[in-house]
Amino acid sequence: MNDTLCMARLLASAVHDMRNLLAIVRESAGLAQDIAALVSKQKAAGDGDRLSAGNSRISASLAEVQRAVLQGAALSEAMDYMAHAGGADGRNTAGPCDLARACRSFQLLAARQARAVQIQLSSEATAEPVWTNAPALAVLRSLLEVFDLCAAVGGQVALHIAADRLRKEEGIVIDVRDGSNREMVLAALTGAPMLSSMSPGWRAALTPWRDAGSRYFLSLVACEADSQ
Amino acid sequence: MALRVLLIDDETEFVDTLAERLALRGYDPRVAYSGQSALQAVRTDKPDVVVLDMLMPGMPGEETLRRLKDIFPDLPVIVLSGHGVVGDTCPMAVEQAFACMTKPLALKALLEILAAATTHTGAATANGERL
């Protein structure tokens, strides 16, 4: 998988989610308008009970709009992060990268793809930064490869990703927490220690995390370009 | 008698709200959050029209459409997608669907297509607009 394919897949997933959020905004706002029109009629007719229920429903609809807008804003930020990781602002894309932010962005970007294969993807919402010299887009690509490993054996699992350190080395902990297909996913991750795609000069490897059975450490290390 | 519309989509907030808006307009909406549950529902309570999201976890929209058409060949199915143009990704859906729409959809456009689907099958119409 190259950078372009990685970005294309994550962007398609994010756009799909964005359309759904816009659909929720449109329908919820429309419902609020519908009920406001009904409430006007009920007010004119002096129907106090229905008036109160209508106002509550309007309030709930508008709260739904706000929730969807906040989600859309978070998704937009993740898309922007990926765009800049790919060099959209003309700056050097070589690094450094905050792995915590990369995890949060990946979780948002890939959410729709994950749901399609019944993978429940989560990350830390407010984690402290964990800086690495690996390029951000390479990190996203590695996460997508791990995701593909899980999806290839059927998905149906809960995956949690979080930036961390192992023996002073920065990386990402992949925690296979739950799911009907958990054993298959664990087998797939155990059987694929070396991921295939990294930028020249970087290597991604997946190893068991300390002694815990369901967790893996995705490490991103510099290597000689010729050794790739 | 109100037109029975089955809405099939895993995005629960969207489909529940759409159902509510259709109900306010005199339709008889039902919701199913997956292809599998939709197929169970149609066997006991045949809808007049179906609105089907193409990308859902579990049974994909294409397979749901194919199975709906196997059970009820004349059932109008409006396919819905948040994934660009339906025809690009699901050519079979374009052939078998009554209409294709993308999200976010305009309710007015959906109502026009529901009316056209009604005329097409001779099914019951909406029981008048309350709004």
Q: Which residues of B touch A50 (CB under 8 A)?
A: none
Contacts with B70 (C-beta within 8 Å, 6 or more apart), sequence order:
none
pLDDT in the model for residue A38: 85
B32 vs B19: CA distance, rounded Å: 11
Query: How many other CB atoms sit within 10 Å of the CB of residue B15?
Result: 23
Q: DSSP letters of B89-108?
A: H-HHHHHH-SEEEESSPPHH
A20, B103: Cβ pair inside 8 Å? yes
Res. A83: pLDDT tops 70: yes
Closest CA to B39 of B19, B17, B59, B11: B59
Helix then strand count (H, E) for chain A reads 6, 7
B101 vs A152: CA distance, rounded Å: 30
Q: Please state, in angstroms and as integers, the Cα–Cα distance from residue A28 to each residue in A33, A43, B56, following that order.
A: 9, 22, 21
Mean per-residue pLDDT, B41-59: 91
**Mean of per-residue pLDDT scores for chain B:** 85
CA angle B121, B125, B126 (to 5 degrees): 145
A104 vs B26: CA distance, rounded Å: 43
pTM value is 0.81
From B41's Cα to the closest Cα of chain A, the distance in A is: 22
Closest CA to A29 of B94, B50, B25, B14: B14
pLDDT in the model for residue B92: 67
Q: What chain A residue is nearest to B13 in terms of C-alpha separation?
A: A24
From A78's Cα to the closest Cα of chain B, the distance in A is: 19
A23, B55: Cβ pair inside 8 Å? no
A61 vs A34: CA distance, rounded Å: 11
Across the beta sheet with B99-102, the strand order is B28-32, B4-8, B49-53, B77-81, B99-102
B82, A16: Cβ pair inside 8 Å? yes
Give the largest CA-CA distance in chain A: 81
The complex's ipTM works out to: 0.81
Q: Please state, in angstroms and as integers, the Cα–Cα distance from residue A93 to each residue in A97, A130, A145, following that order.
A: 9, 18, 20
In the DSSP assignment, the letter for residue B88 is H
pLDDT in the model for residue B85: 55
Q: Which residues of A touch B56 (CB under 8 A)?
A: 116
Q: What chain B residue is nearest to A120 in terms of C-alpha separation?
A: B57
Residues on A contacting B at a C-beta cutoff of 8 Å: 12, 15-17, 19-20, 22-28, 30-31, 34-35, 37-38, 61, 64, 68, 112, 115-118
Q: Which residues of A touch B18 (CB under 8 A)?
A: 27
User: Which CATH class for the B4-118 domain?
Assistant: alpha beta
B17, A61: Cβ pair inside 8 Å? yes
Check if the beta carbon of residue B98 is closer than 8 Å to that of residue B63. no
Q: What is the pLDDT of residues A13-32, one digit of tens each?
A: 998 899 999 999 999 999 99
Res. B14: pLDDT tops 60: yes
Q: Please state, in angstroms and as integers, the Cα–Cα distance from residue A196 to each residue in A7, A99, A146, A171, following that order.
A: 17, 19, 10, 17
pLDDT in the model for residue A206: 86
Res. A133: pLDDT tops 90: no
From B11's Cα to the closest Cα of chain A, the distance in A is: 8
Statement: A97-227 belongs to CATH 3.30.565.10: yes
Q: What is the pLDDT of residues A168-185, one digit of tens each?
A: 889 999 999 989 999 999
B83, A16: Cβ pair inside 8 Å? yes
Mutate to test the interface with A, among B15, B24, B89, B103 (most CBs of A within 10 A): B103
Closest CA to A82 of A102, A57, A107, A68: A102
A20 vs A64: CA distance, rounded Å: 13
pLDDT grade for A95, boundaries at 50, 70 and 90: confident
B57 vs B7: CA distance, rounded Å: 16
From B71's Cα to the closest Cα of chain A, the distance in A is: 25
> Tokens 């927490």, residue?
A177
From A162's Cα to the closest Cα of chain B, the distance in A is: 25
- The region that residue A156 occupies, defined by phi over 0 for left and psi between -120 and 50 for alpha, beta otherwise, is left
pLDDT grade for A85, boundaries at 50, 70 and 90: confident
> Tokens 């059975």, residue?
A213
Check if the beta carbon of residue A94 is closer than 8 Å to that of residue A198. no
